[in-house]
Amino acid sequence: MDKLVIEGGRKLKGTVQISGAKNAALPILAATLLTQEKCVISNVPPLRDVQTMVKILRSLGVRVQMQDSRITVYPAKYKGYTAPYKLVSTMRASICVLGPLLAKQALVRVSLPGGCVIGPRPIDLHLKGLSALGAKIKIEHGYIVAQGKKMKGARIYLGGPFGSSVLATANVMMAATLTPGITIIENAACEPEVVDLANFLLKMGAKIHGQKTHTIEIEGVKKLHGAEHKIINDRIEAGTYMLACAITGGEISIKGASISHLGVLIDKLKGVGTTIRHSGDTIFVKATRRLRPVDITTLPFPGFPTDLQAQMMVLMCMAGGISVITEKVYPERFMHISELNRMGARVMKEGSSAIIEGVPKLSGAPVMASDLRASAALVLAGLAASGRTEISRVYHLDRGYKTMEEKLSRLGAKIWREKE
């Protein structure tokens, strides 16, 4: 297993290029199962989760070619309809083959995903949406088994206790593209990754309206064809580097970032005193000497993204005062608190909130990554801390950030990978 070692205390300076969005690439790769024709997907980040999705496609009988950030999918004669436990258990996003397989094969078996370190992640909304389209769904031997011979468009309210669901919206939207009749998804997710998926489906010949809103309308078509698509860039990666800059007192340019995807983070960073400018697809960030405290509440898009909550907490640890985070998407997503406190942070969990008292300095320490975004937060804390930080279980980070240590090194950080 690898670990990351960081000698903290250096200001980030320079330019970083943002990669394609993992959370757009995964459902889009799954959507290729809706056609029999070749699809070419570019700007795909070469991450472990993407490799897992490719393994799932191959296990279904799909031919897949990978060349750098370009993936060519030939779904011509695939016959498979099972996503096995050994793959689904390593990546929950495997659930997004459910909708396409149901619509195309009229039969699907997907392993139930199992536990998750960021708290309970039920799939009831996925099943509710697909059942409303007429799928007959059973849970058998740890698998979701769904049969979709007589599916029909329907009006579906897809909100749960924490609002809309990104992948449930993706699953129902994909299934509805080949389901006869009109489907209306109410309380649909409108994250940029859902919009990117809809744009790919439109290129395949799907009929979709309202994909940037909370009401998506899909008219089923008989057949979808192959398409080429460039994945949008990763707003969470961009946000992570913006925060890394603010935390280290740096000044960087972030290329390939869309301000329309990052409105709330830009607002909060301005609120703590950071200077943000942009030109085209480049965002310039210049840190302030002393960060002011700030409060955030995570919410579905365009609210503050839960996937930046842990990284934002590190910034709050360095601010001059008390900040509060309220987590309204995953109320238990606070595994990073204890590790940050080992580095000298003062963070207290109170229900689904965290109260953060800023400290003058964090101090480097050996810490353990627990999930993808918590790992990114520990890297940020290591960059800001005095002395040496060693982050073990760094494979979590490799699921979502392309060569983070190389990108940070180019920005002047002292960070490297070692075998444990």
Catalytic sites, residue numbers: 116
Q: Which is nearer to ligand EPZ, 161 or 351 (CB)?
A: 161
d(CA 161, CA 411): 41
Structure tokens of 393? 């279980």
Q: Which is nearer to ligand EPZ, 142 or 160 (CB)?
A: 160
CB of 173 to ligand EPZ, least distance (A): 12
CB of 76 to ligand EPZ, least distance (A): 26
CB of 312 to ligand EPZ, least distance (A): 14
CA–CA distances in Å: residue 308 to residues 38, 79, 298, 372, 377: 35, 39, 9, 11, 9
CB of 241 to ligand EPZ, least distance (A): 16
Q: Which is nearer to ligand EPZ, 287 or 314 (CB)?
A: 314
Question: How crowded is residue 23: how many other Cβ atoms within 10 Å of its Cβ?
Answer: 25
d(CA 64, CA 359): 50
CB of 159 to ligand EPZ, least distance (A): 9
Residues in contact with ligand EPZ by the rule CB under 6 A: 23, 26, 93, 121-126, 160-162, 165-168, 189, 193, 306-307, 329-330, 372-373, 400
CB of 332 to ligand EPZ, least distance (A): 10
Give kind and range of the element (H or E) at residue 243: helix 235-248
Specify whether the CB–CB gap between 408 and 244 falls below 8 A.
yes
Q: Which is nearer to ligand EPZ, 124 or 228 (CB)?
A: 124
Pairing of strands 322-327, 296-298: parallel
Q: Which is nearer to ligand EPZ, 94 or 183 (CB)?
A: 94
Farthest-apart Cα atoms in the chain, separation: 63
> Of 272, 268, 238, 271, which Cα lies nearest the Cα of 15?
238
Structure tokens of 47? 């991450």
d(CA 103, CA 110): 14
Q: Which is nearer to ligand EPZ, 166 or 269 (CB)?
A: 166
Specify whether the CB–CB gap between 187 and 214 falls below 8 A.
yes
Distance of CA 318 to the CA centre of its chain: 25
